[in-house]
């Protein structure tokens, strides 16, 4: 059934290949996990798999090989290309982005360096790296000291009170001397400028951040559990979010920011380079700021209905879907009456971190961050691809089943998804 707007390739055999990889999502359902190795014998997984970062989901990288481009040689040459580009003295950002969009191997801290370059944290000129890093890291340290101090320490520093240490030694018993308090700086102060008052007002946000950090990725040992390692990671996440909230009183902290921060911090902390791993917190802070600068408007409630707000972004997605697959669009919005807000809100604000497992979302982020068109545009294309990939099931379903499906997006081959998303770009240009 060929409707006008559905392009040929959508109905090609790629979609319904029953046996060979990648398993079409319509057939495999939830049974085959996405890291079933494709039965193509010559594919070069060994090269990519060899140095696993300390997680158990490294097998994900297998799904890297795009299936309709020539598989084997592509990956090896791709990785060497990437390494070659990264080892240059001055990198060509466009070239880097182009390679990044094709996927990044999980090994050797490539992703960590690449993301820092793509987010503009590191300049393309390798010579400037050490000075830039030192500057930024010390700036973060300063932020921490200023912002995370509790009021006792602040008042002590401000007023530099001399405790009667000398007196203690001299006199055995005496009336303790009272000193005046300037500016109403006592713990019960209700004054607006009081450090204490601000502290108590901030505790609400800090409590919220604390709760969300504890709930981030509860299935991963890196983030949750009782080990010292995970506790220190949680502490780092908390610090970053608190400092961000304090430095940005306009948006403060909104639930969901923890999900955006988690992959950044994870990638940087797992960098095999010792120095980078120690400063992962500082690096993640600046990259988080950079990442959020494009998406800040999604988190501001007042902007929800404005041109830059989340609602208009969702509308854009809707239009994109309509352009590429009118039949599906009509079925979703009009026949089954699914308001795209029900599923797209989470997809867009959290950059798809909640829809796929952690390793898959890292791959998607490679493309999202690397694409020269910009993260939001790429994101919309990927979301559109996600919808179209399961079109058969969506077209067959009604409101309930479709909503259920969209809110629990089935696992799928990520490189296939990204390939489809890429196709959209080619067409619209």
Nearer to another protein among residue 184 and residue 290 (C-beta) = 184
Residues 6+ positions from 148 with CB-CB distance below 8 Å: 239, 242, 243
Q: Output 39-42 pairs: Cβ under 8 A, ≥24 positions apart.
A: 40/65, 40/71, 40/72, 42/71, 42/72
Nearer to another protein among residue 165 and residue 226 (C-beta) = 165
- From residue 327 to residue 366, the character string flagging contacts with another protein as x (rule: CB under 8 A) and all else as - is ----------------------------------------
CA nearest neighbour of 366 among 120, 123, 111, 113: 111
Q: Which of 94, 170, 178, 192 binds another protein (CB under 8 A)?
A: 178
Question: Measured between alpha carbons, how far is 414 from 64 in angstroms, rounded to an integer?
Answer: 7
Question: Measured between alpha carbons, how far is 259 from 255 in angstroms, rounded to an integer?
Answer: 8
Beta carbon of residue 177, minimum distance to another protein (angstroms, whole number): 7
Residues 6+ positions from 62 with CB-CB distance below 8 Å: 35, 37, 38, 43, 45, 48, 49
Nearer to another protein among residue 177 and residue 302 (C-beta) = 177
Question: Measured between alpha carbons, how far is 125 from 117 in angstroms, rounded to an integer?
Answer: 10
Beta carbon of residue 182, minimum distance to another protein (angstroms, whole number): 10
Q: Which of 13, 56, 87, 177 binds another protein (CB under 8 A)?
A: 177
Nearer to another protein among residue 73 and residue 207 (C-beta) = 207
Q: What residues from 198 to 257 belong to the interface with another protein (CB under 8 A)?
A: 200, 203
Nearer to another protein among residue 128 and residue 174 (C-beta) = 174
Which residues is 125 bridged to in the sheet? 90
Cα dist. 368→273, 381, 385, 421 in Å? Answer: 24, 10, 13, 11
Beta carbon of residue 142, minimum distance to another protein (angstroms, whole number): 21
Residue 40, SS3?
coil
Beta carbon of residue 269, minimum distance to another protein (angstroms, whole number): 29
Nearer to another protein among residue 89 and residue 173 (C-beta) = 173
Name the one range near another protein by CB under 8 A: 39-47, 178-186, 317-325, 413-421.
Answer: 178-186
Beta carbon of residue 251, minimum distance to another protein (angstroms, whole number): 25
Beta carbon of residue 209, minimum distance to another protein (angstroms, whole number): 17
User: 187, 180 in Cβ contact below 8 A?
Assistant: no
Opening angle at CA 346, ends 324 and 104, nearest 5: 75
Neighbours of 331 (CB within 10 A): 19
Cα dist. 77→67, 130, 174 in Å? Answer: 16, 29, 81
Nearer to another protein among residue 185 and residue 355 (C-beta) = 185
Beta carbon of residue 208, minimum distance to another protein (angstroms, whole number): 15
Q: What are φ and ψ of residue 398, in 5° steps?
A: -105, -165
Nearer to another protein among residue 164 and residue 294 (C-beta) = 164
Q: What are φ and ψ of residue 92, in 5° steps?
A: -90, 115
Helical segments of 215-357, H only: 228-247, 257-269, 274-278, 280-299, 310-324, 326-329, 341-349
Beta carbon of residue 187, minimum distance to another protein (angstroms, whole number): 6
Q: Which of 1, 2, 166, 176 binds another protein (CB under 8 A)?
A: 176
Q: What residues from 116 to 175 belong to the interface with another protein (CB under 8 A)?
A: 150-153, 155-156, 161, 163-165, 168, 172-175
Q: What residues from 180 to 199 belong to the interface with another protein (CB under 8 A)?
A: 180-181, 184, 186-190
Number of residues that bind another protein (CB under 8 A): 29
- From residue 272 to residue 301, the character string flagging contacts with another protein as x (rule: CB under 8 A) and all else as - is ------------------------------
Q: Which residues bind another protein (CB under 8 A)?
A: 150-153, 155-156, 161, 163-165, 168, 172-181, 184, 186-190, 200, 203
């Amino acid at each position: 059934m060929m409707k006008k707007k559905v392009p040929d390739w959508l109905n090609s055999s790629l979609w319904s290949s029953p046996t060979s990889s990648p398993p079409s999502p319509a057939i495999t359902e939830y049974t085959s996990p996405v890291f079933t190795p494709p039965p193509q014998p010559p594919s070069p997984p060994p090269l990519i798999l060899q140095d696993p970062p300390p997680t158990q989901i490294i097998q994900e990288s297998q799904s890297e090989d795009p299936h309709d481009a020539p598989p084997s040689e592509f990956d090896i040459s791709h990785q060497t290309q990437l390494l070659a580009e990264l080892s240059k003295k001055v990198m060509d950002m466009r070239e880097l982005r182009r390679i990044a969009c094709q996927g990044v191997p999980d090994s050797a801290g490539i992703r960590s360096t690449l993301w820092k370059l793509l987010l503009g944290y590191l300049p393309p000129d390798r010579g400037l790296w050490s000075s830039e890093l030192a500057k930024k890291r010390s700036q973060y340290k300063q932020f921490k000291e200023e912002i995370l101090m509790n009021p006792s320490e602040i008042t002590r520093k401000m007023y530099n009170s001399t405790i009667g240490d000398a007196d203690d030694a001299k006199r055995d018993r005496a009336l303790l001397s009272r000193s005046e308090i300037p500016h109403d700086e006592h713990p019960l102060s209700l004054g607006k400028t009081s450090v204490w008052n601000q502290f108590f007002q901030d505790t609400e946000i800090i409590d919220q951040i604390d709760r969300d950090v504890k709930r981030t990725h509860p299935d991963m040992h890196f983030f949750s559990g009782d080990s010292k390692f995970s506790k220190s990671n949680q502490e780092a996440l908390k610090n970053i979010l608190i400092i961000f909230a304090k430095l940005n009183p306009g948006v403060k902290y909104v639930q969901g920011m923890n999900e955006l921060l988690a992959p950044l911090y994870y990638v940087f902390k797992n960098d095999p380079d010792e120095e980078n791993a120690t400063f992962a917190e500082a690096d993640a802070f600046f990259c988080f700021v950079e990442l959020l600068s494009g998406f800040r408007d999604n988190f501001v409630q007042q902007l929800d209905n404005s041109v830059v707000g989340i609602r208009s972004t969702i509308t854009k997605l809707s239009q994109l879907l309509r352009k590429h697959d009118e039949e599906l669009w009509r079925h979703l919005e009009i026949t089954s009456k699914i308001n795209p807000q029900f599923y797209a809100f989470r997809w867009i604000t959290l950059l798809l971190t909640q829809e796929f497992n952690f390793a898959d979302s890292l791959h998607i982020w490679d493309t999202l961050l690397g694409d020269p068109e910009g993260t939001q545009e790429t994101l919309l294309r990927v979301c559109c691809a996600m919808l179209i990939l399961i079109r058969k099931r969506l077209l067959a379903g009604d409101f309930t089943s479709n909503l259920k499906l969209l809110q629990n997006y089935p696992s799928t081959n990520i490189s296939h998804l990204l390939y489809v998303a890429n196709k959209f770009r080619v067409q619209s240009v």
